[in-house]
Amino acid sequence: MNMATQLVPGASVPEGQTPPMVAADHAQLLASADPVLAANKRLCYDMYRIVLQGGHADRAHEFIAEGYIQHNPNVVSGRAALESFIRGSRPAREVRPTIELPLVSIVAERDMVTMAFVRTETGEVGETYHTSWFDLFRIQDGRIAEHWDPAIKSAAMLRTDPNSQRLD
């Protein structure tokens, strides 16, 4: 499938590097000929929009299994722990119709969904650069049961609000 992409707004890249590209149409990313895979993608997408981006920890039960297993070293396992993390790291906001982080792709296979994003960081001398971030989710009984990402143990990570990664 040929997916339309666009340059990350405001992105500047060092000479010789490829500029970061993101998906132009999230509906295309959510589509699948397999209704189970489409439902799994939609579950993860909506969880990201409502719980992570929107900060609505009170709605986590709609998406996250109670026995949720967390592989990010900054958050312990369990839905209650995730709810606490969300409440402590971001305010509740209006729920937007799309994920506003620079989304590259959503890939679903079996009971797994991977979402990839462009992530903006600041280097040692204050320069801005772009890298990638991913979230991998395992779905069980219609809820997200397990999560992986590339996070390292970090005090700054405990205060990270994904909405600060938006590139308008």
- The closest alpha carbon to 162, from 58, 59, 61, 48, belongs to 48
Please check whether residue 83 lies inside any domain of the structure. yes
Instruction: Tell me how far apart the alpha carbons of residues 10 and 22 are, in angstroms, rounded to a whole number.
Output: 13
Q: How many domains does the chain have?
A: 1
Q: Looking at residue 164, what is its pLDDT?
A: 55
Phi and psi torsions of 69, nearest 5° = -100, 125
Please check whether residue 167 lies inside any domain of the structure. no
Structure confidence by residue, pLDDT tens digits, 138-152: 999 999 999 999 998
- Mean pLDDT of successive 10-residue stretches along the chain, which has 168 residues: 56 67 92 98 98 97 98 94 95 96 96 94 83 95 97 66 49
Please check whether residue 14 lies inside any domain of the structure. no
Q: Looking at residue 25, what is its pLDDT?
A: 93
Q: Which domain holds residue 145?
A: 21-156
Please check whether residue 116 lies inside any domain of the structure. yes
- The closest alpha carbon to 74, from 90, 83, 85, belongs to 85
Q: What is the CATH number of the domain that holds 81?
A: 3.10.450.50
Q: Looking at residue 166, what is its pLDDT?
A: 44
Please check whether residue 8 lies inside any domain of the structure. no
